[in-house]
Amino acid sequence: MIQRQTATLPDVAFPGRDRLIAAFDAAVTLEDDHAVTAALRDAMCELIRDPVVQLPGCVHTPVDGHYARRELYRSPAHGYSLVAMTWAPGQGTPIHDHDGLWCVEGIWRGTLEIAQYALLERDAARFRFLAANGMQAGAGSAGSLIPPHEYHTIRNASRATVAVSLHVYEAPIERCARFDPIGDGWYRRVESALPADTTG
């Protein structure tokens, strides 16, 4: 069972924030992970198109050297976390997981390439994956990941356009595992901290 955190910070103000939080609060009270993530996907798509909801200006500014992670809110009642990610042209992730948490990801600006991977086998030190799905997700779209089907990559393939995505995690996510290639289709699992960039 996921231990819920009750921290009320961070809590970044932005236009339409109360509308967004009310929609997400309603979604996370549903009966199971599939119903919750389906409702969150629907809510995310509606909110992206809602002119009242505007993410804070900081999320449109990329960070040199890595994609930016800015935590905007943690629900004191339900435990979920909202993280905005900013992807400069060419920025992306290796294959990674979400530390056992479900997640819904919505594209607010630009286009992202998302590839899902199926775990074929593992031994004590190695993992072998098969690329299962690949897609280009544009602004206004949303998708979800529910463990154990959580292995994926994200990349902004644009040469000129910054992309912004908003992620709703089951609980605050502070670490994940990334998977580094070691040859012959095998990967090594590496624990990685997920620090947050400033929202100021």
* pLDDT tens digits, one per residue of 127-153: 999 988 889 999 999 999 999 999 999
* Cross-sheet strand order for the sheet of 81-87: 68-74, 81-87, 163-169, 103-109, 142-145
φ/ψ (deg, to 5) at 43? -65, -40
Residue 136 is encoded by which pair of tokens? 């280009």
The pTM for the full model equals: 0.91
* Span 33-56, pLDDT tens digits: 999 999 999 999 999 999 999 999
Q: Is the pLDDT of residue 159 over 70?
A: yes
Question: 3-state DSSP helix/strand/coil percent for the chain, to nearest 5?
Answer: 15, 40, 40
| CATH number for domain 17-193, candidates 3.40.50.800, 3.90.650.10, 3.30.110.30, 2.60.120.10 | 2.60.120.10
Taking phi first (over 0 means left), then psi (-120 to 50 degrees means alpha), and beta for anything else, what does residue 169 get?
beta
Nearest Cα residue to 93 out of 68, 73, 70, 118: 68
